[in-house]
Amino acid sequence: MKNKEEILNNSKFLIKDYKSNIGKWNKLFKNNNPIYIEIGMGKGKFIIENAKKYPNINFIGIDRFDSIVAKALKKIDEDIKNLLVIRMNALEIDEVFKNEIDRIYLNFSDPWPKVRHHNRRLTSEIFLKKYDKIFKNKNEIYLRTDNTDLYAYSVETLSKHKYILNDVTFDLHKTEENLITTEYEDKFSKQNIPIYSLKAIKEDV
């Protein structure tokens, strides 16, 4: 992307000193509304459409790649008040938030297919322990993927971590209508690739 540096440097939605806001993200939004984050937001379609539809919820999109973040930033309407973006590695998540997140979206995360890389999956025990530190009251993770192995792995790790799994489905678009989707999701749906989905809740934290 030719002008990515210009976009990253000038966008009011990109928070560069993100670690300095730990524990006080509501102050940045200037309200006490719930905060939902999407880890791996891609080009931003999902989180931007959610921010527009739910103005009483604060959204934060997270991705680690400059060019991807820049493409997402270009799509955000200037008048949106409830959306911020962070360019960072997800491993830093517990250095950025502390007991203030209400929901995490994991949409079409990298499946890291090789066994030696499974700890890099966003539903590995390493990440689930980090998430415990950032949730406000109860843990709430919404997951979508087209990858069978990642889905099965996530069901196992979430269950071991004492999450209760709800709305478990192996073909989301056959059971739900009017969904807010991601760019990947639209592509897969056109190819009739089934979308696996679940909602994981843990209240005894």
Q: Tens digits of per-residue pLDDT, 38-47?
A: 999 999 999 9
119 and 192 housed in the same domain: yes
Number of domains in the chain: 2
- pLDDT for 10 equals 87
User: What's the number of CA atoms in the CB half-sphere (13 Å) around residue 59?
Assistant: 23
pLDDT over threshold 70, residue 190: yes
Options 102, 110, 186, 204, the catalytic residue: 110
The tens digit of pLDDT for each residue in 83-136 reads 999 999 999 999 999 999 999 999 999 999 999 999 999 999 999 999 999 999
88 and 108 housed in the same domain: no
Using the CB atoms, write b or e for 57-77: b if 16+ within 10 Å.
bbbbbbbeeeebbbbbbeebe
57 and 140 housed in the same domain: no
Q: Is 189 helix (H, G, I), strand (E, B) or coil?
A: helix
Residue 192: give the domain boundaries: 102-205
88 and 69 housed in the same domain: yes
- pLDDT for 108 equals 95
pLDDT over threshold 60, residue 205: no
Alpha-carbon torsion, ordered 183, 185, 191, 194, to 10 deg: 170
> What's 11's domain CATH number?
3.40.50.150
Instruction: Mark whether 94 is an active-site residue.
Output: no
Cross-sheet strand order for the sheet of 58-63: 83-87, 58-63, 35-39, 103-107, 139-145, 196-202, 164-169
48 and 116 housed in the same domain: no
Q: Of 45, 71, 93, which one is at a domain's C-terminal end?
A: 93
The tens digit of pLDDT for each residue in 19-76 reads 999 999 999 999 999 999 999 999 999 999 999 999 999 999 999 999 999 999 999 9
The tens digit of pLDDT for each residue in 162-185 reads 999 999 999 888 877 789 999 988
Q: How far apart are the first and last CA of the chain?
A: 43
61 and 122 housed in the same domain: no
Residue type, 65: F
- pLDDT for 173 equals 81
- pLDDT for 4 equals 87
- pLDDT for 111 equals 95
179 and 121 housed in the same domain: yes
73 and 133 housed in the same domain: no
CA separation for the pair 120, 93 (Å, rounded): 13
The pTM of the full predicted model, rounded to 2 decimals, is 0.95
